[in-house]
Amino acid sequence: MIKNKNSKKEPLESFETIEEVVEETPENIEVRKVGVGIDFGTVNLLVYVEGQGIIFDEPSIVAYDRDSRKVIAAGFEADNMTGKTHDKIKIVRPLRDGVISDIRAAKDLLKFVFSKVNLHASNSEIRSVLCCPSEVTQIERKALLQLPQQLGIEEVYIEEEIKSGCVGSGVDIYDDRGTMVVDIGGGSTDVGILNLGDVVLSKTLRMAGNFIDHEIIKYCKQHLKIEIGQKTAERIKIELGTVNEKKDVATMRVAGRDLLTGLPRHTEITSRNVTEVLLPIFNDIKNLIISAFKDTPPELCSDIYYDGILLNGGVSLVDHAAEYFTEKLGLKVRVSSNPLTSVVLGTKVLLKTRGHFVKDADTE
Ligand SMILES: Nc1ncnc2c1ncn2[C@@H]1O[C@H](COP(=O)(O)OP(=O)(O)OP(=O)(O)O)[C@@H](O)[C@H]1O
Ligand SMILES: [Mg+2]
């Protein structure tokens, strides 16, 4: 089995007591900074605040008034406007395929979130960990670092989301056993091997939940002759999505625009239709995992053989996902108990280690 909280010698909760045991002297007064962990995903933005828990968990979307260029909504409110606005409102998703594509919108969204939540601290009293995909370039990394800094948060650490997601799933990444995690999110799929507190290697495919939605839209156009919106496609994926070809067929009624008449109409889509869309994408993810094993040292392969693979990210919730990879790879696979929140929950520990690969850096 994959190592989890319960099987470790030292429970993760021990980190929560660090503040209590560190004596407050002028030299270590910075320990009192409020830790803020940010998982800025392509689809969802989550913010964790020490002592408060997850205080924001909403879509990574911001809406602007085109004339004044002011933010008028963000998160769920902006998401509800998607696909339905008039030309005075502009909807922006700051991230694309896991990386920031609109830095101004990313900053505006974070600013909006910070203005809505009560952090009980000025921004200079905040220590922040920002999670990013594995394959960000140096330029993208710099842009990410600047985000909290532009809000006045000076102490910022960047951590890979596969690492944070592993920690937040209860895996002890700090021991000497290799762990494999596959994070299938909204914009990208990241496969990572972790050992001794850090990422040994990683591979990224810019293909995940959003790509599936677009493929469902394409499928509906080609086979059902109807054009549907992205939110409808996402609902189809979540409600009907399965990679189990033997599962009983389920159907769903969806509405959109008829491609021939141009008029609104409804149609029935089946889970078999969605499986047809999902299988080639899951096959690509399986090939990404295989390519990661090709570069993995044999000793770590041996650990993963015994401990299995951890699935993370929203798309790991697709019905039969773990079983699919087990069947194709012959390895144990399990889905994280909290695939949508584990990355931000992992920052709870990473805020203490501050970018270091040993877990007790804070007490040194
Ligand atoms: N039950 C479910 N079944 C299938 N897909 C789901 C389910 N729940 C959420 N998703 C999908 O998961 C994706 C969001 O996952 P997640 O929050 O992990 O992505 P993200 O962190 O925002 O993206 P990334 O890490 O790639 O930048 C969306 O595409 C969403 O539709
Ligand atoms: Mg993510």
Domain assignment present for 138:
yes
255, 351: one domain: no
At 323, which CATH number? 3.30.420.40
52, 194: one domain: no
Confidence at residue 140, expressed as pLDDT on a 0 to 100 scale: 79
Residues 98, 214: Cα–Cα separation, whole Å: 16
Residues 47, 109: Cα–Cα separation, whole Å: 12
For a pocket test of ligand 1, which of 134, 340, 341 has the largest count of ligand atoms closer than 8 A to its C-beta? 340
42 CA to centre of ligand 1 in angstroms: 9
Domain assignment present for 135:
yes
Residues 210-253 pLDDT 10s: 999 999 999 999 999 999 999 999 999 999 999 999 999 999 99
18, 142: one domain: yes
260, 117: one domain: no
133 CA to centre of ligand 2 in angstroms: 7
Counting the structural domains of the chain, the total is 3
Residues 62-79 pLDDT 10s: 999 999 999 999 999 999
For a pocket test of ligand 1, which of 43, 184, 188, 347 has the largest count of ligand atoms closer than 8 A to its C-beta? 43
Confidence at residue 357, expressed as pLDDT on a 0 to 100 scale: 64
Domain assignment present for 183:
yes
User: Residues 6 or more apart from 12 whose CB is under 8 A from it?
Assistant: 5, 167, 170, 172, 349
- Is the per-residue pLDDT at 3 higher than 80? no
Domain boundary among 277, 298, 315: 277
321, 297: one domain: yes
Which residues does a 6 A CB cutoff place in the pocket of ligand 1? 41-44, 95, 98, 161, 185-188, 208-210, 234, 237-238, 241, 313-315, 317-318, 340
Question: In three state form, how does the secondary structure of 152-168 look?
Answer: CCCEEEEEEHHHHHHHH
Confidence at residue 4, expressed as pLDDT on a 0 to 100 scale: 36
For a pocket test of ligand 1, which of 238, 240, 345 has the largest count of ligand atoms closer than 8 A to its C-beta? 238
187, 121: one domain: no
Write the Ramachandran bin of 83: left for phi over 0, alpha for psi from -120 to 50, otherwise beta.
left
Domain assignment present for 48:
yes
Domain assignment present for 273:
yes
What percentage of the chain reaches a pLDDT higher than 90? 68
Domain assignment present for 64:
no
Least distant ligand from the CA of 42: 1
At 270, which CATH number? 3.90.640.10
Domain assignment present for 203:
yes
148, 12: one domain: yes
Whether residue 341 contacts residue 38, with contact meaning beta carbons closer than 8 Å, is answered with no
43 CA to centre of ligand 1 in angstroms: 7
Burial of residue 244, with CB atoms counted within 10 A of its CB: 0-12 exposed, 13-18 middle, 19 or more buried: middle
DSSP 8-state symbol, 357: S
235, 121: one domain: no
Confidence at residue 124, expressed as pLDDT on a 0 to 100 scale: 75
Query: Which amino acid appears at position 228 of this protein?
Result: I
132, 225: one domain: no
Domain assignment present for 80:
no
187, 311: one domain: yes
Q: Which atom from ligand 1 is nearest to the alpha carbon of 188?
A: 26
Range of the domain at 164: 5-58+103-169+341-363
Q: Which of 13-17, 121-125, 290-294, 350-354 has the highest mean pLDDT?
A: 290-294
Whether pTM exceeds 0.85: yes
In this structure, which residues have their CB less than 5 angstroms from ion ligand 2? 41, 185
199, 221: one domain: no
199, 214: one domain: no
Q: How confident is the model at residue 17 (pLDDT cuts 50, 70, 90)?
A: very low
